[in-house]
Amino acid sequence: MKKTENKGFTFIELVLYIGILSVFMVAVTTLIGSVVASNRKMTSRKKIQTQAEEAYDTMSDMLMAATDVKIYAKAKRVGETSSKEGVYLVPDASDLRQDDGSYKEGGGNKTVQVAPSSNPASGSNKRPCYNIGELDKDVALSTVSTTVGSKTADKLYIKLNYASGLDSTTGDSEITSCTLLYDKTNKKLYAYRMKASNSGGGSFIDSSNDEACLLAKNVEQFDVKVNPDEDSFAITMKLQDAQTAASYTVDGVVSLRNSNVLKAHSN
């Protein structure tokens, strides 16, 4: 009986099998990599979605309960072609309006401080004030270049007093002062809170030196529009992860409970 001689694989067969195996391994590796990347992006998106929604809810609660609002930004007023940098607020009845649209009080432009949180009384940046009721509701507020200490960044400040609760003794509303700050340069959103009695009057507080005040990071976009006629703020906030490119956008309108917050005070 003749035995079959086993010569093994030929060189061509071996090359062919290795090629097929290589193609298969590349396909499997690509598939696994794609699944891992997709899961990582999905996890990242869920994380920034939670962060964005929590930040928006926090801001909404403050704005809805607002009793007083001041904004430091570049803004366009109705009927004007260019934006002006300054403090936008509801003027008191005693304020005297000037030809440039600013308001005088006590013989000069009313001013609001921009100061670091470590020393709220040390602010020296003064800006003229304009009527918040004259803002163009279709144009978003713009950040302004602000220097605090040795650091310069484009920032948008929204300072507000809001009813944070009820006094257990008197039943009156407890007013808390807060500055919402968007740091466009570093893509961060902050909220600096303190009791109104310690708020330094009309000061805007720069909280960007205090990570404990951080509401959200990776904030690629933060647009705010003010509509005094409807007593509302329109907010668009987009967060984007730099590594995975996952993004999430919150877009909503916050209506203020107090109808006089954005209205000029009458005599």
Give the pLDDT band (50/70/90) at residue 174.
confident
> Side chain identity at 19, as an amino acid letter?
G
Nearest Cα neighbor of 147 from 175, 122, 176 is: 122
Q: How many CB atoms lie within 10 A of CB 186?
A: 13
Annotate 111-137 with b (16+ C-beta within 10 A) or e (fewer).
Answer: bbbbbbbeebeebebebbbbbbbbbbe
Contact 87, 128 (CB under 8 A): yes
Residue 230 lies in a domain: yes
- 186 CB contacts (<8 Å, ≥6 apart)? 153, 208
Residue 215 lies in a domain: yes
Residue 219 lies in a domain: yes
- 177 CB contacts (<8 Å, ≥6 apart)? 159, 160, 161, 193, 194, 195, 196, 198, 199
Residue 133 lies in a domain: yes
> Side chain identity at 85, as an amino acid letter?
E
Contact 87, 130 (CB under 8 A): yes
Report which of residues 186 and 28 the model is more confident about: 186
For the ranges 69-78, 125-134, 246-255, the lowest mean pLDDT is seen at 125-134
Nearest Cα neighbor of 127 from 228, 202, 224 is: 202
Contact 136, 228 (CB under 8 A): no
Residue 7 lies in a domain: no
Place of tokens 């279709």: 138
State the total domains in the chain. 1
- Residue range 250-261, pLDDT digits in tens: 999 999 998 889
Residue 144 lies in a domain: yes
For the ranges 120-129, 172-181, 248-257, the lowest mean pLDDT is seen at 120-129
DSSP string, 37-72: HHHHHHHHHHHHHHHHHHHHHHHHHHHHTEEEEEEE
Residue 261 lies in a domain: no
- Residue range 19-52, pLDDT digits in tens: 888 887 888 788 777 766 666 777 777 889 999 9
Domain that holds residue 229: 41-255
Residue 235 has pLDDT above 90, yes or no: yes
Confidence at residue 236, expressed as pLDDT on a 0 to 100 scale: 97
Full-model pTM: 0.80
Residue 135 lies in a domain: yes
Helix H or strand E segment including 17: helix 11-64
Residue 234 has pLDDT above 90, yes or no: yes
Contact 148, 116 (CB under 8 A): yes
